[in-house]
């Protein structure tokens, strides 16, 4: 089939490449000419494992092309996937649907009358119905659940597909688009528009709640003298609860969860349903960043003024160079404002971090980052950081003190190597580091 993908960011570039991999002819459309030029040359302007290979393969085969022209997209596509951003509005926390409306308006002007427009962006419930009415277009909603860092795998082998459809024709078309994925046994849920839209926001709300639940337990452990890591392990053995998303730490960030739970709470308010717990989920999440700053102050003495602080991590999570709402960079920026001399190191996100936070210091190698540090903060869970040898690291730093903001470092091993280590969710540091 001939598909277009409107908006070729993290979601859209992945979707376009994976649709070509499924055997379709795909045209990616973006308003950003630089992005289009890079992708056309087979270059992916962000880090996503496996994606550069797929883009290079299908741009070379001619099955995947990119353009800025909606006229070209309209003439080409039988099905148009809308993957543009839905950022948070500064005034209210609601989703800004400006890009979505612009994409639908452009398609309404250029697409064939019988083309199907499929929304994949995360939108407030009620959007699909409004767009179908406003732009007199046949619409379907097909929310996306991919995880950055696993985006290709999650698109080619998703754990489920959700089709929000209001006609048998739309369902037939989507079944044809995803035929190889469905043939592999992927569960399909078909739903009306509101339910399909809500599956995405409800899934994000649930995951965020699970993270903030264990982080709230971390706060209680810190106050009461418990250890949240042991608590989480014991909770996870209960198969009604399960061990996943139960690791206490600095909390979630990124381009999706924070904005999506705020947009959901805002939309629920409009509908007269007070999802006030989501505001508490958000507040717990933000308090974890404050707690890391507090621990940094405590470990450095009364304050961090003049201390050389090394922040391990800039991406909001490992496997990505995405720094949108990164907890690590939020803490780094706060400490710099408090007078610390902050150096950041990240395996993939250095360029993005430098652009967004030009006043922070950056070290290209892990060794350079550690050298001379008065305090180390472990804030993004890259495997490279988990693999640090605490003895070698102790020889590089000025003072062996570390905050484990991800709760994964072996505290006894670090203490034995001379470090003073304070993990979130524990009441006191371990080890004697000076
Ligand atoms: N990133 C993820 O992991 C992920 C996962 C699931 C769902 N989503 C949702 O997918 C949507 C896109 O997210 P993203 O992370 O890919 O965002 P992004 O900012 O990386 O990409 C959005 C792209 O859309 C382009 N764009 C904006 N307006 C346009 C227009 N009118 N026409 C064509 N292109 C336009 C931008 O230039 C940009 O390249 C959001 O709603 C997000 O919540 C993202």
Q: What is the pLDDT of residues 110-120, one digit of tens each?
A: 999 999 999 99
Domain map of the chain by residue range? Answer: 2-191, 201-282, 289-423
Q: What confidence tier does 433 reach under pLDDT thresholds 50, 70, 90?
A: confident
Question: How confident is the model over 391-430, as pLDDT tens digits?
Answer: 999 999 999 999 999 999 999 999 999 999 999 999 999 9
For the segment 228-243, what is each residue's pLDDT rounded down to a tens digit?
Answer: 999 999 999 999 999 9
CB of 249 shorter than 6 A to ligand 1: no
pLDDT of residue 236: 96
pLDDT digits (tens, 9 = 90+) for 89-146: 988 999 999 999 999 999 999 999 999 999 999 999 999 999 999 998 999 999 999 9
Active site residues: 256
Q: Give me 136's structure tokens.
A: 């007199």
Centroid of ligand 1 to alpha carbon of 347 (angstroms): 24
Mean pLDDT of 187-201: 98
Residue minimizing CA distance to atom 44 of ligand 1 = 11
pLDDT of residue 432: 87
H helix runs in 41-149, sequence order: 51-61, 70-76, 98-110, 127-135
CA 39 to ligand 1 center in whole angstroms: 15
Name beta bridge partners: 79.
Answer: 3, 116
At 271 the pLDDT is: 98
The yes or no reply on domain 289-423 and CATH 3.90.76.10 is no
The pLDDT value given to residue 55: 97
Closest ligand 1 atom, CA of 260? 43
| CATH class of residue range 201-282 | mainly alpha
Confidence of residue 434 (pLDDT cuts 50, 70, 90): confident
Mean pLDDT on 159-186: 98
In short, whether 146's Cβ falls inside 6 Å of ligand 1 is: yes
pLDDT of residue 136: 87
Atom of ligand 1 nearest to the CA of 11: 16
Residue 83: CB within 6 Å of ligand 1? yes
Question: What is the 404 CA–ligand 1 centroid distance (Å)?
Answer: 32
Tell me the pairing of strands 64-67 and 375-378.
unpaired
Asked if 2-191 and 201-282 have one fold, the answer is: no
Closest atom of ligand 1 relative to the 99 alpha carbon: 28
Interval 332-346 mean pLDDT: 98
Q: What is the 3-state secondary structure (H, E, C) of 208-261?
A: HHHHHHHHHHHHHHHHHCCCHHHHHHHHHCCCCCCCCCCCCCCCCCCCCHHHHH
In the prediction, which pLDDT does 29 show? 98
Please, which residues bridge with residue 6 across strands? 29, 82
Q: Ligand 1: which of 255, 257, 264 to mutate, judged by most atoms within 8 Å of the beta carbon?
A: 255
2-191 topology per CATH = Rossmann fold (3.40.50)
Q: In which residue are the tokens 């450095």 written? A: 300
Render pLDDT for 67-91 as a digit per residue (tens, 0 to 9).
Answer: 999 999 999 999 999 999 999 998 8
Task: Give the mutation target among 36, 74, 83, 317 for probing the ligand 1 site: most ligand atoms within 8 A of CB.
Answer: 83
- Percent of residues, the chain, with pLDDT higher than 90: 97
Q: Which residue lies with its CA nearest to atom 7 of ligand 1?
A: 144
Q: Comparing C-alpha atoms, which of 294, 207, 300, 201 is closest to residue 251?
A: 207
Compute the average pLDDT of residues 195-224: 97
Q: What pLDDT is attached to residue 159?
A: 97
* Ligand 1 midpoint to CA 238 (Å): 38
Does the beta carbon of 86 sit less than 6 angstroms from any atom of ligand 1?
yes
Tell the residue nearest (CA) to atom 35 of ligand 1: 7
Residue among 27, 85, 135, 144 whose CB has most ligand 1 atoms within 8 A, to mutate: 85
The pLDDT score that the predictor gives to residue 225 is 96
Q: Is the dihedral of CA 154, 157, 163, 168 positive or negative?
A: positive
The whole-chain average pLDDT of the chain stands at: 97
**In angstroms, rounded to a whole number, what is the distance separating the alpha carbons of residues 141 and 81?**
9
């Amino acid at each position: 089939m001939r598909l277009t993908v409107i908006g070729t960011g993290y979601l859209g570039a992945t979707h376009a490449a994976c649709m070509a991999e499924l055997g379709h002819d795909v045209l990616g459309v973006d308003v950003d000419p630089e992005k289009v030029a890079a992708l056309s040359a087979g270059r992916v302007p962000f880090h996503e494992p496996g994606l550069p290979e797929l883009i290079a393969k299908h741009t070379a085969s001619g099955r995947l092309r990119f353009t800025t022209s909606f006229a070209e997209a309209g003439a080409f596509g039988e099905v148009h996937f809308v993957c543009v951003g839905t950022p948070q509005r500064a005034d209210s926390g609601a989703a800004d649907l400006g890009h979505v409306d612009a994409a639908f308006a452009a398609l309404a002007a250029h697409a064939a009358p019988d083309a199907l427009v499929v929304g994949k962006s995360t939108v407030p419930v009620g959007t699909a119905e409004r767009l179908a009415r406003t732009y007199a277009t046949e619409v379907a909603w097909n929310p996306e659940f991919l995880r950055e860092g696993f985006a290709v795998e999650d698109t080619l082998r998703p754990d489920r597909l959700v089709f929000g459809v209001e006609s048998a024709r739309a369902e037939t078309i989507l079944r044809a688009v995803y035929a190889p994925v469905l043939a592999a046994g992927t569960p399909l849920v078909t739903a009306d528009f509101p339910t399909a839209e809500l599956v995405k926001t409800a899934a994000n709300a649930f995951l965020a709640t699970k993270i903030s639940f264990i982080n709230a337990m971390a706060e209680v452990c810190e106050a009461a003298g418990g250890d949240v890591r042991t608590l989480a392990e014991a909770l996870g053995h209960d198969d009604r609860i399960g061990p996943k998303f139960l690791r206490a730490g600095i909390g979630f960030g990124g381009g999706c969860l924070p904005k999506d739970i705020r947009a959901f709470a805002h939309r629920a308010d409009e509908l007269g349903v007070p999802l006030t717990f989501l505001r508490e989920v958000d507040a717990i999440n933000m308090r974890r960043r404050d707690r890391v700053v507090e621990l940094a102050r405590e470990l450095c003495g009364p304050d961090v003024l003049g201390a050389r602080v090394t922040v391990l991590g800039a991406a909001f999570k490992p496997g990505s160079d995405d720094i949108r709402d990164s907890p690590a960079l939020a803490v780094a920026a706060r400490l710099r404002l408090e007078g610390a001399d902050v150096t950041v190191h990240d395996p993939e996100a250095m360029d993005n971090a430098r652009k967004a936070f030009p006043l922070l210091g950056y070290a290209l190698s892990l060794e350079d980052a550690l050298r001379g540090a008065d305090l180390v903060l472990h804030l993004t869970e890259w495997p490279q950081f988990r693999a640090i040898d605490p003895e070698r690291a102790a020889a590089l730093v000025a003072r062996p003190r570390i905050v484990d903001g991800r709760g994964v470092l072996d505290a006894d091993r670090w203490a034995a190597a001379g470090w003073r280590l304070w993990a979130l969710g524990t009441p006191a540091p371990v080890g004697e580091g000076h």
